[in-house]
Amino acid sequence: MAYLFLLAAIASEVVGTSLLKTTEGFTRPWPTVGCLTAYGVAFALLSQAVKQVPVGVAYAMWSGLGTAAIVTIGVVFFSETLSPTKVVGLGLIIGGVVLLNLGGGGGH
């Protein structure tokens, strides 16, 4: 169940980050409310996940998978470029997350 909380937290954070550009520096009320709400939900869910998932593993997954998702969203929806260097960097991030999970987490 903790990993479901973590995946939901990552998804919520990705939604918040995706909305960040549309807030135009927090000058547009509705995108701002959506962005801040998504971030609040993300942190609430993350706080539930770290009750059972070691914080280092949870944060590695949060940052790594979130980064990969945001880069993908940037390329697909915001016409950002995807260079070979970015692809290698994303591979290293995802590889690091996998290694942290394979290494176990020990205690909390």
How far is residue 95's CA from residue 101's CA, in Å, rounded to a whole number? 10
Enclosing H/E stretch for 43: helix 29-49
Contact by Cβ (8 Å): 106, 54: yes
| Total domains, the chain | 1
Give the whole-number percent of the chain exceeding pLDDT 70: 95
Do the domain assignments include residue 107?
no
Structural domain that includes position 57: 2-102
16 in a domain, yes or no? yes
Residue 52 CB coordination number (10 Å): 14
- Phi/psi for 21 (5° steps) reads -65, -35
Q: Is residue 26 domain-resident?
A: yes
User: For residue 49, is it within any domain?
Assistant: yes
Q: What's the confidence (pLDDT) of residue 34?
A: 98
Of residues 26 and 95, the one with the higher pLDDT is 26
The shares of helix, strand and coil residues in the chain, as percent rounded to the nearest 5, are 80, 0, 20
Evaluate whether residue 108 is within a structural domain. no
Question: Quick one: pLDDT at residue 100?
Answer: 80
pLDDT in tens, 36-84: 999 999 999 999 999 999 998 898 889 889 999 999 999 999 899 999 9
